[in-house]
Each structure stands twice: as C-alpha cells, then as structure tokens.
Amino acid sequence: MENNQQHDESVVGHIAPASMYVSIWAVLMAFTAITVFAATIELHVFNIVVALLIATIKGTLVVLFFMHLRYSPKLTMVTVVASIFFLFILFGLTMTDYLSRGWLTSAGH
C-alpha cells in the first residue's frame, strides 16, 4: 500500500484514460469521412468553408486532447492562443494590402 502511494506521487502529469484517446480517434476518422463526402456535393464557394470548418473541429480536438492542452497549465493555453493571434495578424495585414490594391486608383482613372 505504501509502495502504491509512493508510485502515485512519483507520476507527474495527467494520465487520460485510453478510451478517451480512442473516442477522439473515432470522431476524427468520422469527420475525415464527412469532409470527403462533402467534397462530392456542389456547394460552390461553401465547399471550402465546410472543409475548413471540419478541419478546425478536427484540429481543436487534436490540440485539446492528443496534445493535452486541456490538462496543461494556463501558460500553455496562452501560448497557443498567442500563436493563433499572430497567425491571423500575418493573414489579416497581408490581405488588407493585397485585397485593397487598386481601390483608390480605379475610381480616379
């Protein structure tokens, strides 16, 4: 009994049940099948919207459970949110430039 307690104390980090990993795997496989099926339906511009929405659900599951973000310190969560924030600054500022080119000249010329 005392040995068991010592063993528990020496374990660092959270151990999730194997069934959780298998459940997440099953959901990820199901969404992969759904996204391939969705690609056979004509949704015009929404094909990519649906595909990216499913990818984001899958990505969130991978980060939260496979990468243990759910069981990690808040500092790790801040790191992940910061990376997404800066990624969108990169996309946002780049696209405000490229998408708005010609807006000012087209009216005058």
Partner 1 sequence: MATSDIQVAEHALQHHFADMEQQRETSTFGMWMFLLTEIMFFGGLFCVYLVYRAAYYTAFVEGSQKMNIWLGATNTAVLICSSLTMALGVRAAQMAKPKLMIALLLITILFGLGFLGIKGIEYHEHWVNHEFPGPNFHFVTGDPEHPATDAQHTEIYFSLYWAMTGLHALHMIIGVGLVLWIVLAGMRGAFTPHYYNPVENVGLYWHFVDLVWIYLFPLLYLISKKHGG
CB 57 within 8 A of CB 37: no
Q: How far is the CB of 57 from partner 1 (least distance, A)?
A: 10
CA distance 87 to 79: 12
Name which of 8 and 107 has its Cβ closer to partner 1.
Answer: 8
Q: Is 52 in the site for partner 1 (CB under 8 A)?
A: yes
Tokens, residue 74 = 């808040």
Count, residues near partner 1 per rule CB under 8 A: 57
Name which of 45 and 104 has its Cβ closer to partner 1.
Answer: 45
CB 63 within 8 A of CB 69: yes
CB 18 within 8 A of CB 72: no
> What angle do helix axes 18-38 and 46-61 make, rounded to 10 degrees?
170
Q: Is 34 in the site for partner 1 (CB under 8 A)?
A: no
Q: Is 85 in the site for partner 1 (CB under 8 A)?
A: no
- The alpha carbon of 63 is separated from its chain's Cα centroid by a whole number of angstroms, namely 6
Q: Would you tell me which residues interact with partner 1 (CB under 8 A)? A: 6-7, 9-13, 15-16, 18, 21-22, 24-25, 28-29, 32, 35-36, 38-44, 47-48, 51-52, 54-55, 58-59, 62-63, 65-68, 72-73, 75-76, 79-80, 82-84, 86-87, 90-91, 94-95, 98-99
